[in-house]
Amino acid sequence: MMSMQNLILALSRYWAGQGCYLAPTYDLEVGAGTMTPDTFFRVLGRKPWRVAYVQPSRRPTDGRYGENPHRVQKHFQFQVIVKPSPLNIQRIYLDSLVSLGINLSEHDLRFDEDDWESPTIGAWGVGWQVMLDGLEITQFTYFQQAGGLELFPVSVEITYGLERLEMFLEQKDNIYDLKWSDDVSYRDLRFREEKEFSIYNFEQADIAMLQSSFNGAEKEARRLIDQKLLLPAYDYCLKCSHLFNLLDARKAISVTERVKMIGQIRTLVNQIARLYADEEGEN
Amino acid sequence: MEFLLEIMTEELPSSHVKSALAQLEEKFSEEMRNSGLETSELRAIGTCRRLVLVADLGERQPDQEEIVTGPPRTAGLAPDGSFTQAALGFARSQGISVDNLQVLTTARGEYLGFKRLKKGKSTPEILEEKLPALIAALSFPKTMRWSDKSFRFSRPIKGLLCLFGGQIVRVSLEGLVASSQTYGHFIHRPQELSVHSYQEYYQALKDNLVLVDPAERKEKILDGFQKKLSSLKAQVYPDDRLLERLLWNIECPLVIMGSFPESYLSLPLEVLSTAMREGQQLFSVVRGKKQLPYFLGIADAPADPKGYILAGNERVLKARLEDARFFWENDLKVSLAERADQLSAVIFQEKLGSYADKVARVEELVSYIADRLNLRNIKKDLLEAARLSKADLLTEMVREFPELQGKIGGIYAQRQGWSETASRAIYEHYLPVSWEDPIPDSTGGAILSLADKLDTIVGIIGTGYAISGSSDPYGLRRNALGVVRIILDKKFHLSLYRLVDKSISLLQKKLTLPAEQVKTACLELMAGRVRFIFEKRGYGYDLITAALAPGLDYLDFTEARIKALNSLKSSKNFEQFILMVKRVKNILKEAPKSRLDPARLSEKEEKELYSALNIIKKNAEEMMVRGDFAGAQKIIFRLQAPLNNFFDRVLVMAEDKKIRNNRLALLSQVQSLIDQLADYSQIVVTSENS
């Protein structure tokens, strides 16, 4: 019964039952489910919103050439946004774990203070990391700000780390030993990818090309903002963010440049957020 | 009658719980005092999920006499003493007979009016009125909003329970109305519990897996530790901060003990204990100084029936240790010297440049200090240590566990073959991190720490940052405290003034404020810390002010001065002497500055004072140079007899201006000698008031 795909199916069914729309995975490289338009744009403004989706999340610096049993440069998040945050959202979340067959009375589940922020998209929130027998399985956040704007009403974001949760369910010590389905393992699907992308991210990525792509994408985003094409402009911000992460993995960014580049992306994202919120306010 | 309040919340950060309880207790007690309600046995207890107040309160406010004023006497009473229309109207409007009016004298003059008894409000009325604002006024370092509310709190509030004398008090806040209901353990016993008293509340929670009293939880934890450890002949590696944190985070403590593969014991103790503490909040188990392959954890559960909790923690810890070993092995592949060369790319602080810049300055300071202290034998090692001190900022270990900075640098340095002195200095150079933290043990570590902290203080102050209230983002107070503690405890005979000058000169180009202003601000900061330390050591406020008056150039001397004062304060001459000094100071208060002309001294007593002064001055100053302030102070007491005679027999304020000024000049020489020891006039003596 236990496998990554059954986990995804169970969580999807549970949250669909909570009135969430099941969004398809977004087709750009992102560092976290928070960054896709289904979260970023929808937490702005006053309209209620409920969404759940699986999002592959790329963090080039976490690559370990397939040699580390826990760290990978791409992992899968199950992202949930509920806006406004229901007053019993913690209980709703606990019930999602119960729906996975976890008997909470046999475990130690804790909500541990852990506030979240993403300087790149001008966002921060307050909440916890959820620890299950010492393993962090979920990030639970009440969004306070995104794109530099105060959010009202407040959305709650629940991000399950799917591999972590599956390792817990299967009681496995090695991520590659997880089952994706009955006869396909995580290793079958991902080992080669991890190895090759680690080599690419850390050793092979062409710094000059990345740098000029970053500049190109940044310029394009700016141009699109002027054209009020906010969704395409935001896509180019996401590209900037991923290119930045690649440059970071190549250790090609000094500390000063790092601050500058993050600031560049944030400025664009904040402009997009403001224009989007203004339009929403008019409608 | 018994009052009980419970604010149920989602999990508050543990530091917030502690502060919220303290605030609740204080504000509530103040509010009740202001309302005239008798309050006793007030207690604030709780967990991360509930803030609880219990007290015994009076049933109602006492009735109060209230004065109601009407028209002024002149308007209310006709000349014949009869009531006017204005008075009659007023009485009617108040619903009283006009005969009850009397003339009342108020601050504004005489008025017609009457006194009546205002009935005190009942306690529930007052609670309903006051509690919502009191809860809303709790302050937290960071607050949030939730749902579609604009209300702010540390975390969402889920419910209120409020009882007085067993009855519900309908306190309402943000759409919530208090009831007599609470809930058991959120994960393990989430059922609704209805209670009528604190005793019932306490017991119902206990039966449903919540120990609401932190003292009880602590006892259970410590007891659990002991039970687990007794068979091992081992100790828990003390970590009060972690214990404190868990104490508030957990409602139902369960101590677990687990193990990890012995192969990880090849990692240093520092790395092991940090990997356990951060993320998983586990305690290390040691025997003496030796790490054992065990850990202790505190779960929030009644039991671990299937061993899942223990197994899960072991699995996660193993993964973290595996990661730590990966960092350890990778880090060791690169020499610290090589990493140090890359520090120019790491910003220390925007206006102060890179860590490479900082390290260069610290090297100069270390060299200067080593010369002043005649430490030629270790100077080379210390310079090496300074150069490598920040290299570990570029290691993966520090990136993963920032609190290992310094320590891990020292360990890597030792592994890579640097001298014991240099490695140790690197290891210790962030100490002391807090007031409880020890200062560096080695002389090298102390000097490096001193230089590093001084550079930060002077640099940050010199680029225009000022500490205000609780805002001290660069930890200047903590750094200054470190500087002062190191100099005092290591008994470094160093001129603080010249040390600050040296640091300013090294930072010259970067500073945005004038050097003099920077120096004054730095010394003021340090003086505050010296005071703090002396107060902690139990010296009286007046003695501290007196001993600090001659300045804090050589802190070892400052300390010698206060010690001397403290040991002399009970001697029988002391009070007399203080009074004498105050007399001298008083006379000199408005005296013009003039030069002493010994030839003009005519009276026997003033000549004697002059010659006594010269001898005492010579002796005292010699003693002070040696740092013997107790000796110097005793010698100076000998001024008392000649001064007494002088005051008895000689008229200071003589008619002749020249004689007068000459005598004042003599006294001012006395004063300037005394001033080198202390400002005695600051000292409070008992006989003064009599």
- Determine whether the interchain pair A105/B188 forms a contact, defined as Cβ–Cβ distance below 8 Å: yes
Stated length of chain B: 690
Instruction: Give contacts of A126 with chain B, Cβ < 8 Å.
Output: 142, 144, 155
The domain limits of chain B are: 2-60+122-207, 64-118, 214-332, 350-390+402-538, 566-689
- What type of residue is B486? I
pLDDT in tens, B487-508: 999 999 999 999 999 999 999 8
Report the candidate in B576, B578, B549 with the shortest Cα–Cα distance to residue B561: B549
User: What span, in angstroms and rounded, lies between the C-alpha atoms of B32 and B38?
Assistant: 7
A106 C-beta neighbours (distance < 10 Å), count? 16
- Determine whether the interchain pair A70/B309 forms a contact, defined as Cβ–Cβ distance below 8 Å: no
Number of domains in chain A: 2
Nearest CA in chain B to A97: B187
Q: How far is B299 from chain A (nearest CA, A)?
A: 6
- Determine whether the interchain pair B313/A168 forms a contact, defined as Cβ–Cβ distance below 8 Å: no
Q: Do residues B143 and A144 make contact, with C-beta atoms less than 8 angstroms apart?
A: no
Locate the DSSP E strands across B59-108: 64-72, 102-106
Stated length of chain A: 283
Q: How far is B147 from chain A (nearest CA, A)?
A: 4
Query: What is residue B689's predicted lDDT score, i.e. its pLDDT?
Result: 45
H-run or E-run covering A161: strand A156-161
Burial class (CB in 10 A: 0-12, 13-18, 19+), B468: exposed
Q: Which two structure tokens, joined as six digits, stand for A22?
A: 């099941």
- Determine whether the interchain pair A173/B156 forms a contact, defined as Cβ–Cβ distance below 8 Å: no
Q: Which two structure tokens, joined as six digits, stand for B301?
A: 């559960």
What is the pTM for the complete model shown?
0.78
Pairing of strands A21-22, A49-58: parallel
Q: Return the CATH number at A233.
A: 1.20.58.180
Nearest CA in chain B to A88: B158
User: What span, in angstroms and rounded, lies between the C-alpha atoms of A96 and A88?
Assistant: 13
One domain for residues A73 and A146: yes
Phi and psi at B46, nearest 5°, equal: 155, -170
Q: Which two structure tokens, joined as six digits, stand for B238?
A: 């003390």
Per the listing, tokens 């200047």 go with B476
Query: What does the angle CA B237 – CA B243 – CA B247 come to, to the nearest 5 degrees?
Result: 155
Task: Taking residues A100-114, report their average pLDDT.
Answer: 95
- Determine whether the interchain pair B347/A105 forms a contact, defined as Cβ–Cβ distance below 8 Å: no
One domain for residues A237 and A104: no
User: What span, in angstroms and rounded, lies between the C-alpha atoms of B618 and B685?
Assistant: 28
Query: What is residue A282's predicted lDDT score, i.e. its pLDDT?
Result: 64
Instruction: Give contacts of A69 with chain B, Cβ < 8 Å.
Output: 319, 322
In this model, does residue A257 exceed pLDDT 80?
no
H-run or E-run covering B425: helix B420-428
Query: What is residue B465's predicted lDDT score, i.e. its pLDDT?
Result: 84
Q: Which residues of A touch B (CB under 8 A)?
A: 64, 68-71, 84-87, 90-91, 94, 104-113, 115, 125-126, 128, 132-136, 142, 144, 152-154, 156, 168, 171, 173, 254-256
Burial class (CB in 10 A: 0-12, 13-18, 19+), A274: middle
Q: Which two structure tokens, joined as six digits, stand for B522?
A: 């730095």
In this model, does residue A237 exceed pLDDT 60?
yes
Q: How far is CA A176 from CA A181, A201, A249, in A?
A: 13, 20, 23
One domain for residues A275 and A170: no
Q: Do residues A86 and B148 make contact, with C-beta atoms less than 8 angstroms apart?
A: no
What is the rounded end-to-end Cα distance, in angstroms, of chain A?
47
One domain for residues A120 and A176: yes
Query: What does the angle CA B170 – CA B172 – CA B174 come to, to the nearest 5 degrees?
Result: 160
One domain for residues A35 and A70: yes
H-run or E-run covering A156: strand A156-161
Q: Do residues A31 and A245 make contact, with C-beta atoms less than 8 angstroms apart?
A: yes
One domain for residues A182 and A267: no
| Residue of A88, A129, A133 to mutate, testing the B interface (most B Cβ within 10 Å of its Cβ) | A133
ipTM: 0.94
Q: Return the CATH number at A70.
A: 3.30.930.10
**Topology of the domain comprising B566-689:** Isoleucyl-tRNA Synthetase; Domain 1 (1.10.730)
Phi-psi region of A125 (alpha: psi -120 to 50; beta: other; left: phi over 0): beta
- Determine whether the interchain pair B323/A68 forms a contact, defined as Cβ–Cβ distance below 8 Å: yes
Q: How far is CA A55 from CA A23, A76, A184, A230, B521, in A?
A: 10, 6, 20, 21, 53
One domain for residues A87 and A167: yes
Q: Do residues A70 and B319 make contact, with C-beta atoms less than 8 angstroms apart?
A: yes
One domain for residues A183 and A222: no
- Determine whether the interchain pair B145/A144 forms a contact, defined as Cβ–Cβ distance below 8 Å: yes
- What type of residue is B434? S
User: What span, in angstroms and rounded, lies between the C-alpha atoms of A31 and A17?
Assistant: 27
Q: How far is CA B491 from CA B87, B191, B477, B483, B526, in A?
A: 82, 62, 21, 12, 16
One domain for residues A122 and A59: yes
User: SS3 for B259-276, per residue?
Assistant: ECCHHHHHCCHHHHHHHH
One domain for residues A58 and A112: yes
Torsion sign over Cα B207, B210, B213, B217: positive
The three-state secondary structure class of B387 is: helix
The three-state secondary structure class of B164 is: strand
Instruction: Give contacts of A255 with chain B, Cβ < 8 Å.
Output: 345-347
Residue spans of alpha helices (H) in B253-354: 269-277, 308-332, 336-340
Q: At what angle do helices A207-226 and A230-249 cross, to 10 degrees?
A: 160
* Low-confidence spans in chain B with pLDDT less than 70: 469-470, 687-690
Boundaries of domain holding A90: 4-201
Burial class (CB in 10 A: 0-12, 13-18, 19+), B290: exposed
- When CB atoms are compared, the residue of B186, B313, B326 closest to A133 is B313
One domain for residues A196 and A210: no
Query: What is residue A235's predicted lDDT score, i.e. its pLDDT?
Result: 98
Q: Last residue of some domain: A158, A181, A201?
A: A201
pLDDT in tens, A163-195: 999 999 999 989 999 999 999 999 999 999 999
User: What span, in angstroms and rounded, lies between the C-alpha atoms of B62 and B65?
Assistant: 10
pLDDT in tens, B73-129: 888 888 888 888 888 899 898 888 888 888 888 888 889 898 888 888 999 999 999
Q: Last residue of some domain: A152, A173, A201?
A: A201
The three-state secondary structure class of B385 is: helix
The three-state secondary structure class of B574 is: helix
pLDDT in tens, A40-97: 999 999 999 999 999 999 999 999 899 888 889 999 999 999 999 999 999 999 999 9
Pairing of strands A149-150, A135-146: antiparallel
One domain for residues A168 and A222: no
Would you say the CATH fold of B566-689 matches that of B2-60+122-207? no
Q: Helices then strands (H, E): number in chain B?
A: 26, 18
Residue, of A226 and B322, whose pLDDT is higher: A226
B2-60+122-207 — its CATH code?
Answer: 3.30.70.260
H-run or E-run covering B645: helix B640-649
